[in-house]
Amino acid sequence: MLLVYQYPKCSTCRNALSWLDARGVPYERIDIVTSPPSATTLEDVLARSGLPLARLFNTSGQSYREGNYKERLPRMSRAEALAALASDGKLIKRPLLISPEQVLVGFDAGAYGAAFGAARPGA
């Protein structure tokens, strides 16, 4: 099952969900603010995505700015950074899609097309 960590007030998340809905891709929606992924889940996301740790941070968000993560992140250990992300879902770049086959961070129509392009309504 595809899990989509999203924030209902986020326009990027709404665009991603609309993209998935239009193609009939089934998913379970999880509010990233009220139920952020655990540090263990985020560690798995990093391992499977191949992304650097910094790419999991929502650098345009208020939590990132108020927490001064631009300055702090380079000095944080991996465990500290993952704990910070797991404790504040607004720090995480969204939407975050997790399935047994893959993970996607953020919304990029091209990446979604490569991952789910064959899915169609009624499929």
**pTM of the complete model:** 0.91
pLDDT one-digit tens code per residue, 9-66 = 999 999 999 999 999 999 999 999 999 999 999 999 999 999 999 999 999 999 999 9
As a whole number of angstroms, the distance between CA 12 and CA 40 comes to: 25
Beta strands across the sheet bearing 96-98: 28-31, 3-6, 96-98, 103-105
Domains in the chain: boundaries = 3-116
In this predicted structure, what is the pLDDT of residue 29?
97
pLDDT digits (tens, 9 = 90+) for 65-93: 999 999 999 999 999 999 999 999 999 99
**pLDDT in the model for residue 120:** 56
Per-chain mean pLDDT for the chain: 93
To which CATH superfamily is domain 3-116 assigned?
Glutaredoxin (3.40.30.10)
Q: What is the pLDDT of residue 123?
A: 43
DSSP strands (E only) in 26-91: 28-31
Tell me if the bond preceding 95 is cis, omega within 30° of 0.
yes
Q: Treating both helix axes as pointing N-terminal to C-terminal, what angle do 39-49 and 78-87 enclose, rounded to 10 degrees?
A: 120
